């Protein structure tokens, strides 16, 4: 108990802060912060597995997040029959051709010795394949994008419950990570960082511009929900009576019947959105707890010890007969898969998929700030980092406004400096993150909750 005191203290403070937001701002805001904190926590766990356990830098978190989001679209949206009949055949044919091309290249690479001729043949297959695929897919893509472009214009998905996409998102992200890991994991640390950063930009470019698959920048809105809709809730009897029960003391003070009804309606509307957010919180909490248990088990298993050995001294681990390359690939895939889950969760919560909103600052660098501030190598630390940083990210604007008002209290309200500062309050969050990161890196390089290795 005693040795975990700092963990408990840190988490209680964090919860207290969120509850304070609930009391002073509104429970709606508090819960939406809490939900995004949970999603961030899943992302940080993914990044922490890669960085904290194995020392791999993955600056491609944005790409894996977006792939998870894509999974949510492809699983939950109803299929667009017209589009399938218009261009489905061409797309499927192209898909088979891509697979055939990859297999052919693999076959040649495997069965022939390295030579100039082999390189030329592989290049020829790839170029020829791309030309043929473009030739076949182009009419299909045009036909699909032509089907009711204002509403659909894409193939749609499978029409399954969106919850499934959390698993599928993990597989998507893991699959991409496998490919990236195969080609890029041999690079030195900072090159891996740059390579993954750029690859994630390529992923985003594809998601943004392949309209037949993702609707691109036209966005997909109105995704299915695993939680009830507010409008439906407001009309169900049990929910209204529940709200009545919760607020009975407040309602009993009002004697006038019509006024009482009006207050109740207001409370029901507020209550419904809080209730929906609570449903999400419950779902997300389950994911976080399951992942936490699994990652903790992994960390203290022989496998976790091996990963730390590889992280701390690659050569020595290699000499002890551990397959460093294979383990790196494995952990890269696992971590990315977890990020993919988070991406699907994020889209599920928003109910919309907006490829244009994936930017490296928010989805890659901010996650890294979370991991470093929270404490890399320690799952509780990483999760705490997700909470603290997201909380500050959202609350930076109000805090910044307060600070600006405090420091410029002597100035006139119309003074240009004050007006300018108040206008730029949203950017104080960048300042806060940057200074936070620098201070932590300098004075507490292992994060708020540092990694603890117990040797028994």
Partner 1 sequence: MDFVNAIILLLNYIFVPALAYGSQLALGAIFVTLIYGILRFANFATGDMMSFGTMFVILFTFYFQSVGISFGVLPTALLAIPFGIIFMVGYMLIVDKLVFKYYRINKSPPVQLAMVSIGVMFVTQAVVRIIIGPSDRRFFDGEKFLIKAGEFKEMTGLNEGLAIKSTQVITIIVTLILVSTLFWFLNKTKTGKSMRAYSDNEDLALLSGIDPKKIVMITWVIAGILATIGGALYGLDKSFKPFTYFNNMLPIFAAAIVGGIGNPFGAFLGGYVIAFSEILLTYAYRKFFMYVLPESMEPDGLIQLLSTDYKFAVSFSILVIVLLYRPSGIFKGKVL
| Interface contacts to partner 1, rule CB under 8 A | 57, 183-184, 187-191, 193-195, 197-199, 201-202, 205-206, 208-209, 361, 365, 368-369, 372, 421, 423-424, 427-431, 433-435, 437-438, 441-442, 445
Chain center to CA of 95: 27
Residues linked to residue 260 through DSSP beta bridges, in sequence order? none
Whole-number Å distance between alpha carbons of 133 and 97: 7
What is the smallest separation between the CB atom of 436 and partner 1, expressed in angstroms?
A: 8
User: Which is nearer to partner 1, 246 or 430 (by Cβ)?
Assistant: 430
3 state DSSP class of 150: coil
Kindly tell me which of 39 and 185 has the beta carbon lying closer to partner 1. Answer: 185
Q: Phi-psi category of 81—alpha, beta or left, where left has phi over 0 and alpha has psi -120 to 50?
A: alpha
We find the least distance from the C-beta atom of residue 42 to partner 1, in angstroms, to be: 21
Nearest approach, Cβ of 377 to partner 1 (angstroms)?
A: 14
Tell me the C-alpha distance between 101 and 128, whole Å. Answer: 9
Give whichever of 200 and 349 is closer to partner 1, judged by the CB atom. 200
- Phi, psi values for residue 353, rounded to 5°: -120, 110
> How far apart are CB 44 and partner 1 at their closest, in Å?
15
Question: Cβ closer to partner 1: 213 or 288?
Answer: 213
Nearest in space to 449 (alpha carbons), one of 62, 44, 65: 44
Measured from the CB atom, the residue of 195 and 317 that comes closer to partner 1 is: 195
Min separation Cβ 54 and partner 1, Å: 13
Smallest gap from Cβ 138 to partner 1, in A, equals 9
Cβ closest to partner 1, residue 177 vs residue 195: 195
Phi, psi of 185 (to 5 degrees): -70, -15
| Residue 313 beta carbon to partner 1: minimum distance, rounded to whole angstroms | 13
Helical residues (DSSP H) of 351-427, grouped into ranges: 360, 366-374, 379-407, 416-423
Nearest residue to 352 via CA among 233, 212, 231, 217: 217
Smaller CB distance to partner 1: residue 209 or 297? Answer: 209
Residue 124 or 183: the one with the smaller Cβ distance to partner 1 is 183
Q: Which is nearer to partner 1, 63 or 156 (CB)?
A: 63
Contact at 8 Å (CB) between 87 and 144?
Answer: yes
Q: Smallest gap, in angstroms, from Cβ of residue 426 to partner 1?
A: 8
Instruction: Please classify residue 202 by burial: count the beta carbons closer than 10 Å to its beta carbon, then call 0-12 exposed, 13-18 middle and 19+ buried.
Output: exposed
Between CA 103 and CA 109, with CA 104 as vertex, the angle to 5 degrees is: 95
Strand (E) or helix (H) holding 104: helix 89-111
Shortest distance, position 365 Cβ to partner 1, whole Å: 6
What distance in Å separates the CA atoms of residue 87 and residue 177, rounded to the nearest whole number?
A: 29
- Gyration radius of the chain's alpha carbons: 26
Q: What's the first-to-final CA gap in the chain, in angstroms?
A: 17
């Amino acid at each position: 108990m005693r040795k975990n005191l700092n963990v408990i203290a840190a988490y209680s403070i964090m919860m207290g802060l969120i509850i304070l937001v609930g009391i002073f701002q509104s429970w709606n805001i508090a819960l939406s912060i809490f939900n995004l904190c949970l999603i961030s926590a899943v992302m940080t766990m993914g990044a922490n597995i890669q960085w904290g356990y194995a020392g791999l830098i993955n600056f491609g978190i944005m790409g894996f997040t977006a792939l998870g989001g894509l999974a949510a679209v492809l699983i939950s949206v109803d299929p667009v029959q017209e589009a399938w009949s218009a261009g489905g055949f061409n797309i499927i044919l192209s898909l088979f051709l891509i697979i055939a091309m990859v297999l052919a290249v693999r076959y040649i690479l495997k069965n022939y010795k390295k030579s100039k001729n082999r390189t030329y043949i592989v290049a020829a297959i790839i170029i020829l394949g791309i030309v043929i695929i473009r030739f076949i897919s182009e009419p299909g893509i045009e036909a699909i994008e032509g089907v009711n472009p204002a509403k659909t214009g894409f193939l749609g998905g499978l029409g399954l419950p969106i919850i499934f996409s959390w698993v599928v998102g993990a597989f998507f992200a893991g699959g991409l990570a496998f490919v990236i890991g195969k080609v890029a994991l041999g690079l030195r640390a900072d090159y891996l960082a740059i390579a993954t950063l750029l690859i994630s930009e390529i992923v985003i470019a594809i998601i943004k511009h392949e309209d037949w698959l993702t609707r691109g920048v036209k966005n997909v809105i109105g995704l299915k929900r695993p939680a009830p809709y507010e409008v439906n809730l407001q009309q169900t009897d049990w929910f209204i009576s529940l709200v009545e029960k919760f607020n009975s003391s407040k309602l009993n003070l009002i004697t006038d019947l019509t006024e009482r009804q009006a207050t109740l309606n207001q409370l029901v509307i507020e209550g419904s959105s809080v209730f929906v957010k609570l449903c999400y919180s419950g779902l997300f909490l389950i994911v976080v707890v399951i992942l936490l248990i699994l990652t903790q088990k992994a960390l203290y298993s022989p496998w976790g010890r091996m990963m730390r050995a590889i992280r701390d001294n690659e050569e020595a681990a290699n000499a002890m007969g551990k397959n460093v390359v294979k383990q790196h690939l494995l952990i890269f895939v696992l971590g990315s898969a977890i990020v993919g889950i988070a991406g699907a969760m994020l889209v599920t919560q928003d109910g919309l998929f907006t490829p244009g909103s994936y930017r490296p600052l928010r989805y890659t660098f901010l996650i890294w700030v979370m991991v470093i501030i929270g404490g890399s190598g320690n799952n509780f630390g990483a999760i705490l980092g997700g909470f603290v940083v997201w909380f500050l990210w959202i609350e930076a604007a109000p805090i910044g406004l307060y600070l600006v008002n405090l420091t410029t209290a002597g100035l006139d309200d119309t003074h240009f400096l004050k007006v300018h500062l108040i206008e730029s309050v949203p950017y104080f969050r960048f300042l806060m993150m940057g200074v936070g990161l620098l201070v932590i890196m300098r004075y507490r390089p292992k994060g708020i909750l540092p990694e603890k290795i117990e040797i028994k």
